[in-house]
Amino acid sequence: MKLSGEQRLECSVEDAWALVNDPETLRACIPGCEALERSGDGYTASVVLKVGPVKATFKGDVMLTDLVPPNALRISGKGAGGIAGFAEGGADVRLAPDGDGTLLTYDSEAKVGGKLAQLGGRLIDSTAQKLAQQFFANLDRRIRDRAAAGSPALAG
Q: How far apart are CA 90 and CA 23, in angstroms?
A: 17
Q: Which helix (H) or strand (E) holds 14?
A: helix 13-20
Write down the H helix ranges in 72-120. none
- What is the reported pLDDT for 58? 92
- What is the reported pLDDT for 67? 94
Residue type present at position 98: D
- What is the reported pLDDT for 132? 85
- What is the reported pLDDT for 156? 45
Q: Cα 144 to chain center, whole Å?
A: 18
3-state secondary structure of 3: strand
Angle between helical axes of 13-20 and 121-148 (0-180°, round to 10):
120
- What is the reported pLDDT for 149? 84
Q: How far apart are CA 25 and CA 6, in angstroms?
A: 19
Instruction: Per-residue pLDDT tens, the chain, 156 aa: give them.
Output: 888 999 999 999 999 999 988 899 989 999 999 999 998 878 999 999 888 888 889 999 989 899 999 999 998 989 999 888 898 888 999 999 999 999 999 998 888 888 888 887 888 888 888 888 889 889 989 888 888 887 766 544
Q: How far apart are CA 63 and CA 77, in angstroms?
A: 6
Structural domains of the chain sorted by starting position, each given as residue range(s) with its CATH number in brackets:
2-148 (3.30.530.20)
| Contact call for residues 27 and 42 (beta carbons, < 8 A) | no
For the chain, the C-alpha Rg in angstroms (whole number) is 16
